[in-house]
Amino acid sequence: DAGVIQSPRHEVTEMGQEVTLRCKPISGHNSLFWYRQTMMRGLELLIYFNNNVPIDDSGMPEDRFSAKMPNASFSTLKIQPSEPRDSAVYFCASSSRDLNEQFFGPGTRLTVL
């Protein structure tokens, strides 16, 4: 299995632009998580889905952030408009209730200039 796949691995954009981060979970997993990591705030949970349905989005910083999971094999995290303070590494993870662990992807490093 290829593991959790995230794209792009690196993204550099200018303030005000729309950014879309993509995640493909491990096949058969029905839970998907989006996390953000910064030096100041560490690793934070943004949102998670069970069976493609958002369960907890209380970590989403503001309305500029939105996440979707149109099917079991794909999720997006969109930032519109982006701001310099959104610069971070964004991780996607997948799992299911019968597993002990969450499996993390390699992350997307976002830089907003």
Partner 1 sequence: DAKTTQPPSMDCAEGRAANLPCNHSTISGNEYVYWYRQIHSQGPQYIIHGLKNNETNEMASLIITEDRKSSTLILPHATLRDTAVYYCIVRRGRGGGADGLTFGKGTHLIIQP
Closest CB to partner 1 among 15 and 99? 99
Q: Which amino acid would we find at residue 54? A: P
Q: Which amino acid would we find at residue 48? A: Y
Q: Interface residues for partner 1 in 50-89 (CB under 8 A)?
A: 50, 55-56, 59
- Least separation in angstroms between CB 110 and partner 1: 14
Among all chains, which residue has been given the structure tokens 């970590």?
59
104, β-bridge pairs: 93
Q: Are 75 and 23 in contact (CB under 8 A)?
A: yes
- Least separation in angstroms between CB 11 and partner 1: 16
Q: Are strands 53-56 and 88-95 parallel, antiparallel or unpaired?
A: unpaired
From 61, 66, 74, 104, residue interacting with partner 1 (rule: CB under 8 A): 104
Distance CA 98, CA 43 (A): 24
Q: Interface residues for partner 1 in 21-50 (CB under 8 A)?
A: 29-31, 33, 35, 42-45, 48, 50
From 23, 86, 105, 110, residue interacting with partner 1 (rule: CB under 8 A): 105
Q: Which amino acid would we find at residue 89? A: V
Binding residues vs partner 1 (CB under 8 A): 4, 29-31, 33, 35, 42-45, 48, 50, 55-56, 59, 91, 93, 95-107
